[in-house]
């Protein structure tokens, strides 16, 4: 998400990075640009203002730390302030010592509440918890059936509201059923509010006192504009939010709403929705998000993702192979598959520092396509060819090209890439990883 803001801030700091001294004037200039960038990112104007004031106070008149260029120091201050504004390290949902844990989701219409209910249910179910879903949205046509379809797909029970039209009574029944049948978690969906309307807020307050939930989570759309502040404030005042879930972050929304909501409610951001599929829900890490905004990338998230989809044993075997020069086309294909698992180029580019600033960004869909071709080519080879690529002569190339539906030129290119990769891997395993280490350190 936030890559547009990242780009902007990057270009600003490039301007002052080379300068030797932090003067009032160049700080003012940079901060004005930071403010505009924040406003363009939909950060509420008051939040942006107080943010800028905070940075200015800390930047002006401060002694320059040894080892840091003045520009770097401003970057560091902005980064720190940004992290601070977004809250402490990722907090998730704490389960109550007396189950069931009652979780109520609230938010405006179309923010993605019902989908998020499904995502949370999936998460708890995978942790081995018994989950019950309760529809508190009896207004929107088909909201109940949407929840039922989600529940069916996840194999999670959904309480049937029957013909009852009073959501408060339905939710109270949900609590009873949750207790009686020994559920660990009960998640309540609520009707989307189009506006912060007194009557509808009163209904939510009634629901709250009816079920006394452990968590009241505010579901907010990452694309929300300046009104995010007013909406979040009202919900917080009336209900006392315990957390925030930001949805639809996989698009190109700059997500300034996140900073605004967080700063007016003080409630922690517990999860972010990163896609339409039910597994697309991630814990929120404020420091990483701040790094991402500043163009320092989200290396930690990338490492974690890579670890998740790549076991330690696999890595060790690969390392051994590289050292012994036994890296084959099969391993190469494996690498391509891993890359796909991590989420393809687009997701990776978001996380690699500076990658978004490359002048010529390779066309991502083209890369994905090429990756598919690589897989097809290697699948069309015999075992022997994969182990000993040097035997692949002209005839074999023709056969492989027919089998994989690619051209001989593509096969030639793949083999060339493979030999290059092999050479590079060998150099990396024997030489120092100094370059890589420097890349990972944010202020190095």
Partner 1 sequence: MGKGFLKKLGLGLKETRNYFSDGVAALFFGRATIDADMLDHLEELLIGADLGVEVTERFLRDLKPCVERKEVSDLVSLKKKLKKFMVSILEKERSEMPFSVSPKVTLFVGVNGVGKTTTIGKRAQKLKEEGGRIVLAAGDTFRAGAGEQLALWGERVGVEVIRHRPGADPAAVAFDAVSAGLARKSDHVLIDTAGRLQTKNNLMAELKKMVRVLEKAMPGAPHEKILVLDATTGQNALSQAKLFNEAIGITGIILTKLDGTGRGGIVIPIVETLSVPVTDIGVGEGADDLIPFHVESFVDALFEDTPQG
Q: Which residues make up the interface to partner 1 (CB under 8 A)?
A: 36, 39-42, 44-46, 108-112, 114, 118, 140-143, 145-147, 149-150, 153, 194-196, 221-228, 230-231, 248, 250-254, 256-257, 276, 364-365
Element of type H or E holding 245: strand 243-247
- In the bound state with partner 1, the residue whose beta carbon lies nearer, of 44 and 262, is 44
Nearer to partner 1, 114 or 401 (CB): 114
Query: What one-character DSSP code corresponds to residue 193?
Result: B
Closest distance of CB 101 from partner 1, Å: 24
Nearer CB in complex with partner 1: 206/227: 227
| Closer to partner 1 by Cβ: residue 249 or 328 | 249
What's the closest the beta carbon of residue 177 comes to partner 1, in angstroms?
22
Q: In whole angstroms, what is the distance from residue 203 CA to residue 25 CA?
A: 52
Give the nearer residue to partner 1 in terms of CB position, either 160 or 172. Answer: 160
CB of 45 to partner 1, least distance (A): 5
Closer residue to partner 1 (CB): 177 or 226: 226
Q: Closest separation between CB of residue 110 and partner 1, Å?
A: 3
Measured between alpha carbons, how far is 352 from 119 in angstroms, rounded to an integer? 27
Helices 70-86 and 3-17 pack at an angle, to 10 degrees, of: 150
Between the alpha carbon of residue 301 and those of residues 259, 284, 288, 298, the distances in Å are 20, 10, 8, 6
- Residue 386: strand, helix, or coil: helix
Whole-number minimum distance, CB 377 to partner 1, in Å?
A: 22
Q: Which of 418, 414, 417, 385 is nearest to 399 (CA)?
A: 385
Inter-residue contact 74 to 294 (CB < 8 Å): no
SS3 341: helix
Both tokens of 430, joined, read 């024997």
Write b or e for each residue in 46-61: b if 16 or more Cβ atoms lie within 10 A of its Cβ, otherwise e: ebbeebbebbbebbee
Cβ(101)–Cβ(258) below 8 Å: no
Smallest distance, partner 1 to C-beta of residue 276, A: 7
Choose between 211 and 239: whose C-beta lies nearer to partner 1.
239
Question: Shortest approach of partner 1 to residue 348 CB, angstroms?
Answer: 15
CB neighbours of residue 192 within 10 Å: 20
Task: Give least dist CB 94 to partner 1, A.
Answer: 29
> Residue 29 or residue 304: which is nearer to partner 1 going by CB?
29
With respect to partner 1, which residue has the nearer C-beta, 22 or 228? Answer: 228
CA dihedral (13, 19, 23, 25) in degrees, to 10, reads -60
* DSSP bridge partners of 63: none
Roughly what angle, to the nearest 10 degrees, separates helices 344-351 and 329-342? 70
Tell me: cis bond preceding 26? Omega within 30 of 0 counts: no
Nearest approach in angstroms of CB 255 to partner 1 is 9
Structure-block tokens of residue 400: 């492989």
CB of 41 or CB of 103, closer to partner 1: 41
Residue among 274, 396, 443, 239 at smallest CA distance from 347? 274
| CB 220 to partner 1: min, Å | 10
Residue identified by tokens 């007194």 is 198
Least distance (Å) from partner 1 to the CB of residue 99?
Answer: 27
Q: Which is nearer to partner 1, 304 or 375 (CB)?
A: 375
- Pick from 404, 342, 419: which is nearest to 374 by CA? 404
Inter-residue contact 125 to 235 (CB < 8 Å): no
């Amino acid at each position: 998400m936030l890559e547009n803001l990242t780009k902007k801030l990057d270009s600003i700091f490039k301007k002052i990075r080379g300068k030797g001294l932090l003067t009032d004037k160049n700080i003012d200039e940079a901060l004005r640009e930071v403010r505009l960038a924040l406003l363009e990112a939909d950060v509420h104007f008051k939040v942006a203002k107080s943010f800028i004031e905070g940075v200015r106070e800390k930047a002006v008149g401060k002694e320059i730390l040894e080892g840091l260029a003045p520009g770097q120091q401003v970057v560091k201050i902005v980064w720190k302030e940004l992290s601070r504004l977004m809250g402490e390290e990722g907090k998730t949902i704490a389960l109550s010592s007396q189950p069931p844990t009652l979780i109520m989701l609230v938010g405006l219409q179309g923010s993605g509440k019902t989908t998020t209910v499904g995502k949370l249910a999936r998460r708890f179910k995978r942790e081995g918890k018994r989950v019950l879903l309760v529809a508190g949205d009896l207004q929107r046509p088909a909201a109940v059936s949407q929840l039922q379809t989600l529940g069916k797909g996840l194999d999670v029970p959904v309480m049937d509201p029957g013909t009852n039209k009073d959501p408060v009574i339905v939710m109270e029944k949900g609590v009873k059923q949750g207790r009686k049948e020994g559920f660990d978690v009960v998640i309540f969906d609520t009707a989307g509010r189009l506006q912060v309307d007194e009557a509808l807020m009163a209904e939510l307050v009634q629901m709250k006192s009816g079920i006394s939930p452990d968590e009241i989570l505010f579901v907010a759309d990452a694309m929300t504009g300046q009104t995010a502040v007013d909406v979040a404030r009202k919900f917080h005042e009336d209900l006392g939010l315990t957390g925030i879930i930001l949805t639809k972050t996989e698009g190109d929304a700059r997500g300034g709403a996140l900073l605004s909501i967080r700063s007016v409610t003080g409630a922690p951001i517990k999860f972010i929705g990163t896609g339409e599929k039910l597994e697309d829900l991630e814990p929120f890490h404020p420091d990483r998000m701040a790094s991402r905004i500043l163009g320092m990338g989200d290396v930690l998230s990338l490492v974690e993702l890579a670890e998740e989809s790549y076991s330690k044993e696999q890595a060790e075997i690969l390392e051994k192979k590289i050292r012994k020069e036994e890296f084959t086309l099969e391993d190469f294909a494996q690498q391509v598959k891993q890359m796909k698992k991590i989420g393809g180029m687009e997701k990776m580019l978001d996380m690699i520092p500076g990658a978004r600033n490359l002048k010529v960004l390779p066309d991502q869909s083209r890369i994905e396509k090429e990756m598919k071709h690589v897989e097809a080519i290697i699948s069309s080879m015999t075992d022997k060819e994969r182990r000993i690529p040097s035997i692949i002569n002209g005839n074999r190339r023709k056969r492989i090209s027919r089998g994989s539906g690619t051209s001989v030129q593509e096969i030639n290119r793949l083999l060339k890439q493979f030999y290059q990769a092999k050479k590079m891997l060998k150099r990396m395993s024997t030489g120092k990883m100094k370059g890589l280490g420097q890349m990972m350190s944010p202020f190095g």
